[in-house]
């Protein structure tokens, strides 16, 4: 079964799951069930929430890497470095686009899973 989801290098994600399709599909389902709540926590970053933001974006970075969302991982890594460095303006300038990008990946995963009857546990 070929998996084509915009924003994902599914071959890379599948490789990280030792080529096991069941594990990869489980990883995709975990991503769409866990990442949206983290994105909500990241929405209105302020000076006071910058430290928590760094932790949250780090989590999205790891989750994105595991499913082959390479661009999301790269951007999350940059945002994490900015947050840890105290660059609030830099984070705020890129955060909305990052969240939209990850949300589009989530939407693509949901659509693919539903279309291919793979949305179950």
- How many other C-beta atoms can be found within 10 angstroms of the C-beta atom of residue 39? 18
Nearest Cα to Cα of residue 104 among 42, 15, 39, 25: 39
For the whole model, what pTM was predicted?
A: 0.93
Long-range contact set of residues 92-96: C-beta below 8 Å, sequence gap at least 24: 92/45, 95/42, 95/43, 95/45
User: What's the distance, Cα to Cα, between the start and end of the chain in Å?
Assistant: 18
Task: Quote the pLDDT of residue 120.
Answer: 64
pLDDT digits (tens, 9 = 90+) for 57-107: 999 999 999 999 999 999 999 999 999 999 999 999 999 999 999 999 999
Task: Please report which confidence band the pLDDT of residue 1 belongs to, taking 50, 70 and 90 as the band edges.
Answer: low
Distance of alpha carbon 94 from alpha carbon 114, whole angstroms: 31
Cβ neighbours of residue 42 closer than 8 Å, sequence gap 6 or more? 53, 56, 57, 60, 95, 99
Instruction: Say how far apart CA 38 and CA 19 lie, in whole Å.
Output: 27
| CA 28 distance to own-chain centroid | 10
Distance from C-alpha of 38 to C-alpha of 57, rounded to nearest angstrom: 8
Q: Can you list the domains of the chain with their CATH numbers?
A: 10-115 (1.20.120)
């Amino acid at each position: 079964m070929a998996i084509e989801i915009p924003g994902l290098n599914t071959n890379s994600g599948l490789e990280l799951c030792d080529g096991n399709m069941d594990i990869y599909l489980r990883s995709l389902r975990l991503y769409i069930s866990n990442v949206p709540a983290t994105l909500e926590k990241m929405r209105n970053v302020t000076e006071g929430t910058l430290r928590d933001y760094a932790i949250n974006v780090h989590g999205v970075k790891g989750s994105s890497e595991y499913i082959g969302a390479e661009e999301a991982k790269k951007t999350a890594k940059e945002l994490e470095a900015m947050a840890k460095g105290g660059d609030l303006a830099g984070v705020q300038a890129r955060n909305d686009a990052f969240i939209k990008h990850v949300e589009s990946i989530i939407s693509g995963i949901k659509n693919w899973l539903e279309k291919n009857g793979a949305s179950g546990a």
